[in-house]
Amino acid sequence: MAEDEDIPLTGKVREKLVETKQGWARDGRLLTGTTSTPEADRLPPGQRLVTDFPVLDLGVQPDVSREKYRLRIEGLVAAPLRLTLDEFLALPQARRRNDIHCVTQWSRYDNEWEGVPVAALLALARPKEEARFVALTSYDGYTTNLAIEDFARPENLVAHSWAGAPLERQHGGPLRLVVPHLYFWKSPKWLTRVELLREDRPGFWEVRGYHNRGDPWMEERYG
């Protein structure tokens, strides 16, 4: 993705933070040993409710202009997409309200998002039958992975707005993925590439001890 090389990046990867969170995985930090379901408990095990919107990233924030932004959907698809931001915004839009749950133990209720449903993007790209997994890449170099069943759920959104305003850079603008039924590290900020795959490809935190799926009610914090 040579065209991405001139995207300005602010900051640098906070290696000590990464080491600390890897240590959490080794030690099983925050685990309560309990499980639940969304039907039984709105707040997953071990989570605490917040009203602000904490900012978590690797220490690098890309500054992606409207003109340079591209969203790619490629790999095992019949019709690869390479959308500019204007093309993305011209697609039919939807609103979603959901709760979000971060693996660092905070949850936030009733978030209002606007964007394009993942299912609508997949309908345009037309996944091939052998596509079973999705690898996601962000402009800061962050990666994560999902089974296609988790990615394609109807509540999932590629969002450009939160709480009635365009997503701020610190929260993932111009576009971020929102997958509310899993821990929020599975909803990458600054999303630029969606690759459909036959085989799974664990991402940044998954190869550092975090769970491959990340169900908050099953307390799938670590793998």
Confidence of residue 5 (pLDDT cuts 50, 70, 90): low
Q: What SS3 class is residue 15?
A: helix
Distances (CA, A) of 208 to 64, 145, 152, 182, 203: 27, 13, 25, 18, 9
**Residue holding tokens 């709760």?**
99
| Closest of 85, 83, 149, 155 to residue 117, by C-alpha | 155
pLDDT at 82: 98
The pLDDT tens digits of the residues spanning 69-128 come to 999 999 999 999 999 999 999 999 999 999 999 999 999 999 999 999 999 999 999 999
Instruction: Give the pLDDT mean for 134-159.
Output: 98
Query: Any idea what DSSP says for residue 170?
Result: G
Q: Is the pLDDT of residue 197 over 60?
A: yes
Q: Where are the domains of the chain?
A: 9-208
The CA distance from 192 to 209, in Å, is 24
Q: Which two tokens stand for residue 138?
A: 């962000």
Distances (CA, A) of 166 to 57, 138, 163, 176: 19, 18, 8, 11
pLDDT at 10: 81
Selecting from 3.40.640.10, 3.90.420.10, 3.30.2290.10, 3.90.1150.10, what CATH number does the domain 9-208 have? 3.90.420.10
Q: Which two tokens stand for residue 72?
A: 């790619």
The pLDDT tens digits of the residues spanning 24-39 come to 999 999 999 999 999 9
Q: Is the pLDDT of residue 43 over 70?
A: yes
Instruction: Give the pLDDT mean for 216-221.
Output: 98
Identity of the amino acid at 30: L
pLDDT at 4: 56
DSSP-assigned beta bridge partners for residue 108:
100
Contact 175, 217 (CB under 8 A): no
Q: Is the pLDDT of residue 2 over 60?
A: no
